[in-house]
Structure 1
């Protein structure tokens, strides 16, 4: 008996729905990661990675026992010392053109620094720091006498002062020129709070804190305008990673169902957020655990997502995740084989669960049957 066009169309529709469900399952699944120990400038030294661009170039700092940190770049698997003589230096961000920003300390004070092709240039020597750079080369940071600052083509511009330039910092900048950070708010009764801030279109505004928290600060902003950072209640209060989306401050929770402190450090264009969670606001670093938040905004410990077949599986304790690029690659630092080292986590292809694969095969089977009967009709 020949099938009607209606029956064939119905079979194709069902198989299409099954297939789309399967694709959605893959997209929603948590990836597993390959872990790379990025090494240090010396074989017995330590290191930390803080940012990664979309070409896989990584920056941070490295140090040997008893020595100060040195700004470091990892490029194509090679680790190098960034140029410029200083007592101490650190790289804080890198854009897709490979331009690096950070700061160094010399006998005369702290300087905001930009490294181009590995060569250092001083942006500002007035107790300044450079913390982020966008794809257009605009740099965000702060100076002691001017507070939140951007540098455009090497020229400093002070951002609008919200309350006072003291303790005001610009920490992140996106490709639209929007800047985030924090400022100090002093109330009429002399209560002092740190508050998250957004500078956009020539204006600076307080973007608030998550419910239950009085203070906040912002770390990074993506091109969609999503902002990440932290809400807290001062030195002795609780603290939670926070996402600001569409004007709403969202509490991202922590690994221990609200009893731990958590910090969101970076967000990519897909809304994936990385940071860390620890037992308290000032608990030791070795109590911290690197965390990722996917689309459901639930924290997941990154240690648990390392591929079980990875040679380093079970031999690490990842303390904090500092940066994530649009490919989903994550950098930070932790304990690897007993050494404090910078790490790179690279997502592996998601393997569908058996049930999802069965659904796909069933759908394709229906599609094949319908196609054959259509030809016989």
Structure 2
């Protein structure tokens, strides 16, 4: 956890796991130690046998980018057996993962046993152009940003392409440059949209658009036409533009004179030796990915990555990324690490699909999660997919039963794990946005602030928003004025700069508590509630309950306070105070009934703290 600012978060997908079976085997401490796992929504169960008796076993889950994360500790019985249920960290992607359990014998020899378990994602789905379905038909989502805004295209009643922005449940049409067709292809965190629009007379130009400034024609390198396919948070735009003498399209990069400015310069990115190229993707450092024709008049293309000589510069070098053994390839996505995704022909055989003979990868986020579309077995149909943790997953499997949706293509994914694309809803083509969920609650929550005065903060108070541990809250400014979000508890945990209309701010809440926030000027107020989590929810006096108030240690300068209320008690009492650890295991053997828990985060230097979290409870039976 970092404090004082928002983060570009690694996308997290919720876990919907298939229940397995697990046997508890009696064994003495001299047997070979073993563990077995079974999974349930949001948690993983573990049973062990053959361990040293009457000693503690520490179990951990491996999370990419973080290493081994504490899951809990469990005591062994007189036979060397143990068992318990652990909450799975929210940033664990779908796929196969490893749980390890450790025990120190005699303070000298450490026993370590590992076991694999499998997770799958769960998603809630939104029809993001429902509010404008009469004006926008056959819609598809082309891109989304880090604060949950999405953009894309559809068709009007005359069959012409129209562009739109979806923000906080409101759909805004994006006017073009005066011609018949307008396409929106990308959006950055400032709410700036990049795309291509017809001009009167039939030519088309790349453009940028903001809610405050409207559309701006970016012109061309030298010819009549240009296209915009992607933009980054500095306002650079990648696409192509015609060049003399033959007016072939070359991959091109438009650089604004100031960040997210409306005036700038086109730069020719060149080709791989052929006559034409196009840049389809752009990352935060100005690296562009796309496809280029090869030398000798060939009509075969190869994927490329263009790297600037200096970050976000206009001069650089184009690198041929080759193929997977076939004749051609194209690149459609690139993340901040320079990972490139796309499509390639193979020499023989098919891999990396949902069973059919081909698949396209369209986007990749900074945690390496890839989305796209793949043919199914028999090639009669295709579905949207997510690739993560080495596994290709059909996104239709993550939807609630009988949702009415069929998802055909996923075109964008942000670092919170939200996915946009297109599919059908009860047989009608729609743009969709998927947001990751768990059975415990949402992993993302969206707060939209709007007002009628120059100061956006004059808006009325927002209701309390609730997310699970590790969940992300996105604030979006719908306009017309500017505002800033701040931590109203006095801890200084989070806060944004002034946000222009159409922009937003995101923060991940890793620890349990109730966090008040306010906006600048006449305060608009609200709270974010993050509950304590327990596993299991019900057990006996012999059950070891796992209690979590953070899947982390406290950041420097902060501590956690945790309180418990026993059955029949009138008041909460301190369970642990001023701790930096994020969880513990408890045996509640004193009495049966409901035990209740709550927690908060506190800054040591000032004593300022969040309010207490929503209450979590477990029930103990005989």
Shorter-chain TM-score tier: 0.7 to 0.9
Q: Counterpart in 1 of 2:272? A: 162
For the residue of structure 2 that corresponds to 1:304, the secondary structure is: helix
Greater percentage in strand: 2
Q: TM-score, normalised by structure 2?
A: 0.49
Q: Which runs of 5+ in 1 are unaligned?
A: 1-6, 241-250, 373-377
Q: Counterpart in 2 of 1:229? A: 342
For residues 17 and 123 of structure 1, what CA distance do their matches in structure 2 show?
51
Q: In the alignment, which of 74, 86, 108 is matched to residue 166 of structure 2? A: 74
For residues 24 and 42 of structure 1, what CA distance do their matches in structure 2 show?
39
1:320 aligns to 2:409 (yes or no): yes
Q: TM-score, normalised by structure 1?
A: 0.78
1:138 aligns to 2:241 (yes or no): no
Deviation for aligned residue 1:277: 0.8
1:300 aligns to 2:393 (yes or no): yes
Pick which of 49-58 and 125-134 moved more: 125-134
Q: Counterpart in 1 of 2:302? A: 195
The runs of 4+ residues in structure 1 deviating greater than 3 Å are 7-10, 12-18, 20-26, 237-240, 360-369
1:179 aligns to 2:288 (yes or no): yes
User: Residue 169 of structure 1 contacts residue 183 of structure 1 at CA under 8 Å; is this kept in 2?
Assistant: yes
Cα deviation digits, residues 71-100 of structure 1 (max 9, x gap): 111111111111233210010000000111
1:129 aligns to 2:227 (yes or no): yes
Cα deviation digits, residues 208-250 of structure 1 (max 9, x gap): 112x3221111111111211111026xxx9897xxxxxxxxxx
For residues 88 and 168 of structure 1, what CA distance do their matches in structure 2 show?
23
Greater percentage in helix: 1
Distance 1:276 1:357, change over 3 A: farther
User: Residue 271 of structure 2 contacts residue 293 of structure 2 at CA under 8 Å; is this kept in 1?
Assistant: no
Deviation for aligned residue 1:349: 2.0
RMSD: 3.4
For the residue of structure 2 that corresponds to 1:19, the secondary structure is: strand
1:115 aligns to 2:206 (yes or no): no
For the residue of structure 2 that corresponds to 1:159, the secondary structure is: strand
> How is 1:184-263 mapped onto 2 (pairs within 5 angstroms)?
184-186=293-295, 191-200=298-307, 201=309, 202-210=316-324, 212-232=325-345, 253-256=352-355, 259-263=356-360
Aligned residues: 334
Cα deviation digits, residues 353-377 of structure 1 (max 9, x gap): xxx959x9647499546xx9xxxxx
Deviation for aligned residue 1:105: 1.5
Larger radius of gyration: 2
For residues 142 and 545 of structure 2, what CA distance do their matches in structure 1 show?
45
Deviation for aligned residue 1:138: 1.0
Q: Counterpart in 1 of 2:195? A: 102
Q: In the alignment, which of 421, 424, 436 is matched to residue 335 of structure 1? A: 424
Cα deviation digits, residues 338-357 of structure 1 (max 9, x gap): 211111111112569xxx95
Q: Counterpart in 1 of 2:576? A: none
Deviation for aligned residue 1:278: 2.1
Distance 1:10 1:150, change over 3 A: farther
Q: In the alignment, which of 146, 149, 162 is matched to residue 54 of structure 1? A: 146
For residues 202 and 59 of structure 2, what CA distance do their matches in structure 1 show?
72
1:276 aligns to 2:353 (yes or no): no
